[in-house]
């Protein structure tokens, strides 16, 4: 599944809110009227799902994963990442 091109959101300092579904059947990003939904196959253990979301989101944004920092929602389904 190819995700959407989110390069228009790749502005320094931008905060990107996502709703995460861990242990999904496949990885993917979907734009909905409510925001971004990210599905990852990784389990929500030891930060594995957070890391998978960060990498998938970075690829869709066209930036390095190290430029995305999780600022809210480390243990929640609703997360906010900041682009540095």
Count of beta carbons in the 10 Å neighbourhood of residue 42: 20
Q: What are the sequence ranges of the domains in the chain?
A: 7-70
Model pTM?
0.93
Burial environment of residue 44 by CB neighbours within 10 A (0 to 12, 13 to 18, 19 or more): middle
Q: State the pLDDT at residue 7.
A: 93
Q: Mean pLDDT of residues grouped by 10 in the chain (84 residues)?
A: 82 96 96 94 96 96 96 97 96
Question: Among 21, 14, 73, which Cα is nearest to 52's?
Answer: 21
User: Are the beta carbons of 76 and 57 closer than 8 angstroms?
Assistant: no
């Amino acid at each position: 599944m190819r995700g959407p091109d989110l390069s228009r959101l790749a502005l320094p300092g931008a905060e990107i809110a996502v709703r995460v579904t861990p242990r999904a059947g496949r990885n993917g990003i979907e734009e909905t009227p409510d925001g971004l939904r990210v599905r990852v196959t990784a389990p929500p253990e030891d930060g594995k799902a957070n890391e998978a979301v960060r990498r998938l989101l970075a690829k869709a944004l066209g930036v390095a994963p190290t430029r995305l920092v999780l600022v809210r929602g480390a243990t929640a389904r609703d997360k906010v990442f900041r682009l540095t």
